[in-house]
Structure 1
Amino acid sequence: MQEVNQMTKGSAIAYQELLDELQKLDIKYEMVDHPAAKTTAEADAYIAGKIGVRTKSMFLKDKKKNFYLVIMDDAKRMDFKEFQELTGTKRISMAHDSDIEDQLGLEAGIVSPFGIMNNAAHNIQIYFDQDMLAENIPLTFHPNINTHTIFLSAADLMKFIKAQGFDYQIIDL
């Protein structure tokens, strides 16, 4: 139980650090508070009726321990073979929980692009599915904690990513 409390405390700190960074970058957002959501379906239920692309962020790795953050509409199925063909990567799989914690400072189930704040090594390649961005409506994510959902524009999310020293690619998954 103490480990769970420690992770929750860590998530609360990561959440506040994110809010401070968004303010510093003058990024506008809307926040919805809700009970802890363990799945995207649960999180989506808490924000039902609000306009925004429901996203999923998948943290992947290859055999050489290169890391990839893939962000797409949560209604879309990830085709690992297609991702490998588009990016030239090989032997892609979901990263382990320990990789998520080590690289993003987040718990499994709370992965989002905001975790890159905690990646000093800058060793994560970020990919967005173009279909999600074509909708031109706010994107939704857990803001480093699963008791809130943040809504922000794609342009502001890209601004955040660039401010953290990362690049991204837009691909057609």
Structure 2
Amino acid sequence: MDQLTLVTSTLDGLGIQYQLVSHPAAETTEEADAYIEGIEGVRTKTMFMTNKKKTSFYLLVMDDAKRLDFHEFQDLTGAKRVKMASSEALKEKLGLAPGIVSIFGLINNQERDVKVYFDKAILSEARMSFHPNENTHTIFVASNDVLAFVKAQGYEPEILDLEED
């Protein structure tokens, strides 16, 4: 089963409604934004990170217009020496390639060993947008359903109050 079908069938099985938009391959959030202009929903960026020893993994969802302060993330989570995870770790843990990281990669994390975080600022938005594990589509899901999806995958998402730039 391809990744898009895996994502949509998982959402269907959970009774979660979504809007799926097809578009040319988008390598960056800026490219994707151009294809989904005018559609309601916060544009997210999902960052897959690890500690220096590669013993802990973190998935952070935030507004794509915001920049992450790694020191603040470490202070809020208690994580130590956090950096972006390698493309090899991303493939191994979430079955994804760089540029298409999203919460839907959690479907592929058999070990359930990734800590999931959301920036509080985006939870007040009605909908969030993500790549559904491939970059030729963008999927829009109600914010409360995004949290329900994460919980249904066996994760307890934590909410962080990240400072504005």
**What TM-score comes out, normalization by structure 1 length?**
0.91
Which residue does the alignment assign to 2:92?
102
The structure that is helix-richer by fraction is: 1
Q: Which one-letter code corresponds to 1:129 in the other structure?
A: D
Match of 2:82 among 73, 92, 96: 92
Deviation digits for residues 145-172 of structure 1 (CA, Å, limit 9, x no counterpart): 1000000111111111111111110010
Q: Which one-letter code corresponds to 1:112 in the other structure?
A: S
Which residue does the alignment assign to 1:40?
29
> Matched residue of 1:77: which SS?
coil
Q: Which one-letter code corresponds to 1:167 in the other structure?
A: E
RMSD of aligned alpha carbons: 0.9
Question: Which residues of 2 match residues 1-173 of structure 1 at below 5 A?
Answer: 13-65=2-54, 66-135=56-125, 137-173=126-162
Displacement over 2 Å in runs of 4+: none
> How far is the alpha carbon of 1:64 from its aligned partner?
3.0
**What TM-score comes out, normalization by structure 2 length?**
0.95
> How far is the alpha carbon of 1:63 from its aligned partner?
1.8
Paired residues in the alignment total: 161
Could you tell me how far apart the structure 2 residues matched to 1:16 and 1:123 are? 24
